[in-house]
Amino acid sequence: MKNPLFTLFFFMPLVTMLLSMNIGLVSGRCQSDQQSLLLNLKKTLVFDELASIKLVKWNSTPDCCEWPGIACDDGGSGRVISLDLSFEGITGGLDDSSGLFSLQFLQNLNLSFNSFNTTLPVRFATLTDLISLNLSSAGFIGQIPNDISKLTMLVSLDLSTNYFLEGPVLKLEKPNLATLVQNLAHLEELILDGVDISAQGSDWGKALSSSLPNLKVLSMSNCFLSGPLDASLAELRSLSIIRLSSNYLSAPVPEFLANYPKLTALELSSCQLNGIFPQTVFQIPTLEILDLSFNELLQGSFPEFHQNLSLQTLLLSDTNFSGTLPQSIGNLEKLSRIELVGNNFTGTIPSSVANLTQLFYLDLSSNKFEGRIPSFRRSKNLTYVDLSSNNLTGEIPSGHWEGLLSLTYVDLRYNAFNGSIPSSLFAIPSMQRIQLSNNRFGGQIPEFLNVSSYLLDTLDFSSNKLEGPIPSSVFDLANLHVLELSSNKLNGTVELHLVQKLLNLTTLGLSDNNLTVIASGKNSNLSSLPQIKMLRLASCNLRVFPDLRNQSKLYHLDLSDNQITGSVPGWISELSLLQYLNLSRNLLVDLERSLSLTSLSILDLHHNQLQGSIPVPPSFITYVDYSSNNFSSYIPPNIGSQMQTFQSDSFEGNPGLCGPPLNLVCSNTSGSTFKRRSNQRKEFDWNFLSAELGSIFGLGIIILPLMFCKRWRTWYYTHVDRVIFRVFPQLDKRSNNLGRRAQRNRRRQ
Ligand SMILES: *[C@@H]1O[C@H](CO)[C@@H](O)[C@H](O)[C@H]1NC(C)=O
Ligand SMILES: *[C@@H]1O[C@H](CO)[C@@H](O)[C@H](O)[C@H]1NC(C)=O
Ligand SMILES: *[C@@H]1O[C@H](CO)[C@@H](O)[C@H](O)[C@H]1NC(C)=O
Ligand SMILES: *[C@@H]1O[C@H](CO)[C@@H](O)[C@H](O)[C@H]1NC(C)=O
Ligand SMILES: *[C@@H]1O[C@H](CO)[C@@H](O)[C@H](O)[C@H]1NC(C)=O
Ligand SMILES: *[C@@H]1O[C@H](CO)[C@@H](O)[C@H](O)[C@H]1NC(C)=O
Ligand SMILES: *[C@@H]1O[C@H](CO)[C@@H](O)[C@H](O)[C@H]1NC(C)=O
Ligand SMILES: *[C@@H]1O[C@H](CO)[C@@H](O)[C@H](O)[C@H]1NC(C)=O
Ligand SMILES: *[C@@H]1O[C@H](CO)[C@@H](O)[C@H](O)[C@H]1NC(C)=O
Ligand SMILES: *[C@@H]1O[C@H](CO)[C@@H](O)[C@H](O)[C@H]1NC(C)=O
Ligand SMILES: *[C@@H]1O[C@H](CO)[C@@H](O)[C@H](O)[C@H]1NC(C)=O
Ligand SMILES: *[C@@H]1O[C@H](CO)[C@@H](O)[C@H](O)[C@H]1NC(C)=O
């Protein structure tokens, strides 16, 4: 007792304890030693006071049992048994010396969604009463310590991380999974998504089946597991949820999965599954969620669906399923989400789909469905319908869509629908996107009634057989971003300044109709147009170059096949984002002197009357066509060698033009003897390429920096591709092989 400090420290707890008994009597249930431990914990934790909603309020009342995030036991002893500090913006201050580990009565501890950024303290092992431990995305890193296996009371253990954002930050190597779970016989929930386990099927399967007889929830997606699913897993009879997505299982799906009596969710997407999927799994009476997406080698077909099945979510996109959708799908009364994108399904979409009253999200795109579509009017909650890229036919009765007050998205592109456009689609106030392009819809575009309330942002009717005028109410759809009406038989006159009310318009396509677009003249001041990115006005009877000098966001401009005379204006070079410029098939005679084309990747000037020396394209341009003009003079050698990459027909049909890459040696006679073959030229499919460019350049800005991040790339390959392909289905077929290769590559990483 020589040291006064020692004395103080020795007696301090005793003093606090005595004091606490007093306070305990006076103010609520909280034991004061528990309270001081909590206050001490708060003091040591480093947290963001603005993000915190619990810690900041501690000490606001005398009874710590009432503090947010805390629960005490029912017996009135004032012991803190639950601590929930999830989402508190904690960035540090937890190690083996933390007061947290003196809260010895804790049964439930939730530190999820913080940024501790340290290894898991081994002293978690001292909290031996723990029933649930939730360290999901808490920011702990490195090897999971063996000591966690001493928490033998655990019923729920969540060490998951969001693999796509954080990558594998925790790992189970030494100890491995078997060691971790060997004493956790009470465990019902094991949630390890994103933890690097790197185990073979027989190892992890046997580890679980031999130690965790009560397991109900097994969640180990993105855990670097390999297959196959070990047969011993069949012993885990209580399993209700199995999530093993994004592991390299590379094996068939075993029949025994169908024998779990309580299975409600089976998620096996991106697992490189192969073989034939057992149909009996579809018939598990308790099964609500089935996700087999992105298993391109997995074959299968649907069985008959009995009544009394529970399926709500059926996700089979990008697998190798085939066959038909049975009429008995109408028995799946609870079905709310169906995604079957990119398979080989054939036959009709059964009329019984009309009986799926809970249907919320339906995506059957990129299959081989044919025939007519069922009515959706009984599916009152329907929000999303994508039937694009099939072989669907027939008229769509307007009544099919009546009264669907939640519908926001309808994509019927790339089918063979005919008849008139179902006008009931326009009467749905929630509707945001209607895409009907590349069908055979005819008749007139109906007027939009009551347009002021519309949320409509995309109207794509291109490549159909629509006739008559564009109804004026279209130009009142104030939220429109995309108005694409190209390649129809629309007629009449459109004053371009009409779109000035569409403040958010970014894409306007009126090409290839029988329209007369007025883009100049005293009533046509284009300076107040919205900032458009993609403007397609090919074959619009334009006679004057429209004044688009204020369109600083323009990256795609198609004015081809008009009767525009005069010069190509110099202000074009000020459109710094312009990548695609098509002025072919006009009556243009020259390029204004100030014109330079530095940002372009595609330039088509063919079939005009352009004269003078040939314009120098920027060095990264990917496509250029100067053919069928009056460009005279030779191609200067420095430009010629830069343009060796272009085929000579980019320059053909300029009687005065000679030099490489043309096979014409400049001589006195070469110009006049040169024969053009313009009728043999293949017309380039601009729509196709520009869509591709749009996606590449548009997304490129976001994607490029992220491409360096491996785990983001993984996510990108599985998700963004699909987004792109849905937006541009014509790319899908071509890129299919590419996508699959990318997926295979990521497995190897
Ligand atoms: C985590 O801690 C390490 C050092 O322990 C430090 O280098 C790193 O920047 C920290 N990361 C974050 C996200 O705080
Ligand atoms: C914290 O985790 C537990 C289970 O570990 C859970 O019951 C609780 O709802 C979680 N808290 C929050 C706020 O999500
Ligand atoms: C862990 O906490 C998070 C967020 O608070 C919650 O979403 C998750 O469901 C919890 N885990 C378990 C197993 O309850
Ligand atoms: C898809 O399944 C068909 C049989 O239905 C088979 O012929 C084809 O090879 C499979 N494709 C792949 C990529 O496995
Ligand atoms: C469905 O369940 C009901 C009762 O819930 C039962 O009467 C009926 O026989 C069951 N039908 C089938 C086909 O299992
Ligand atoms: C569709 O089936 C054909 C032959 O049956 C097969 O070659 C092709 O790979 C399948 N396509 C898809 C997307 O599964
Ligand atoms: C829809 O269900 C009812 C009974 O619930 C049945 O009588 C009818 O035939 C079903 N319709 C279709 C198209 O399957
Ligand atoms: C629509 O969804 C809501 C909530 O999402 C639900 O309460 C309602 O029962 C559903 N209606 C139908 C007809 O499915
Ligand atoms: C689409 O269906 C028609 C008959 O309705 C058929 O002739 C055609 O071959 C089908 N096209 C494809 C790609 O399956
Ligand atoms: C537009 O086409 C419709 C038929 O599609 C025709 O009746 C009408 O006369 C045409 N109008 C003009 C101005 O050509
Ligand atoms: C549409 O434009 C208005 C006015 O410029 C703007 O306030 C609004 O945010 C835009 N909406 C969207 C979805 O971009
Ligand atoms: C285009 O419209 C004009 C009248 O404005 C008409 O004479 C011509 O036949 C139409 N062309 C086509 C292809 O419909």
pTM of the complete model beyond 0.75? yes
Which pLDDT value is given to residue 637? 60
Query: Is residue 566 packed enough to be buried (19+ CB in 10 Å), middle (13-18) or exposed (0-12)?
Result: middle
Question: Does 678 have pLDDT greater than 60?
Answer: no
Which pLDDT value is given to residue 453? 63
503 within ligand 11 shell (Cβ under 6 A) = yes
Q: Under a CB-based contact definition with an 8 Å cutoff, are residues 218 and 192 in contact?
A: no
330 within ligand 7 shell (Cβ under 6 A) = yes
Phi/psi for 518 (5° steps) reads -95, 110
Ligand 6: centre distance to CA 272 (Å): 17
128 within ligand 11 shell (Cβ under 6 A) = no
Which among 479, 497, 465, 534 is positioned nearest to 698, based on CA atoms?
534
Residue list, ligand 5 pocket, CB within 6 Å: 306-308
Residue 355: strand, helix, or coil:
helix
Give the helix/strand (H/E) hosting 10.
helix 4-26
110 within ligand 3 shell (Cβ under 6 A) = yes
Per-residue DSSP letters for 677-704? -GGGPPPP-HHHHHHHHHHHHHHHHHHH
pLDDT tens digit sequence for 102-148: 999 999 999 999 999 999 999 999 999 999 999 999 999 999 999 99
Nearest Cα residue to atom 3 of ligand 8: 381
Atom of ligand 12 nearest to the CA of 514: 1
Length, in residues, of the chain? 749
Nearest Cα residue to atom 9 of ligand 7: 352
In sign, the C-alpha dihedral spanning 161, 166, 168, 170 is: negative
Question: Does 616 have pLDDT greater than 80?
Answer: no
Ligand 3: centre distance to CA 161 (Å): 11
Q: Under a CB-based contact definition with an 8 Å cutoff, are residues 165 and 194 in contact?
A: no
The neighbour count for residue 24, using CB atoms within 10 Å, is 20
Which pLDDT value is given to residue 232? 96
406 within ligand 8 shell (Cβ under 6 A) = no
Which pLDDT value is given to residue 452? 59
Can you point out the beta strands (E) in 166-240? 170-171, 189-191, 217-219
Which among 462, 463, 457, 542 is positioned nearest to 495, based on CA atoms?
542
Enumerate the H helices of 401-521 as residue ranges.
none
Question: Does 176 have pLDDT greater than 90?
Answer: yes
Give the helix/strand (H/E) hosting 410.
strand 409-411
Ligand 2: centre distance to CA 157 (Å): 11
Question: Does 590 have pLDDT greater than 90?
Answer: no
The residue to mutate among 467, 470, 491, having the most atoms of ligand 12 within 8 angstroms of its beta carbon, is 491
3-state helix, strand, coil in the chain (%, to 5): 30, 20, 50
Ligand nearest to the CA of 516: 12
Residue list, ligand 12 pocket, CB within 6 Å: 491, 514
Q: CA-CA distance, 620 to 472, in Å (whole number)?
A: 42
Q: Under a CB-based contact definition with an 8 Å cutoff, are residues 240 and 264 in contact?
A: yes
368 within ligand 9 shell (Cβ under 6 A) = yes
Q: CA-CA distance, 405 to 397, in Å (whole number)?
A: 18
Which among 266, 232, 274, 231 is positioned nearest to 249, based on CA atoms?
274
The residue to mutate among 305, 352, 372, having the most atoms of ligand 7 within 8 angstroms of its beta carbon, is 352
Ligand nearest to the CA of 140: 1
According to DSSP, the residues that pair with 290 across neighbouring strands are 266, 314
Which pLDDT value is given to residue 635? 63
pLDDT tens digit sequence for 23-37: 333 346 788 889 989
The neighbour count for residue 424, using CB atoms within 10 Å, is 19
Within 8 A by CB and 6+ apart from 390, the residues are: 364, 365, 366, 367, 368, 369, 370, 414, 415
Q: Under a CB-based contact definition with an 8 Å cutoff, are residues 147 and 122 in contact?
A: yes
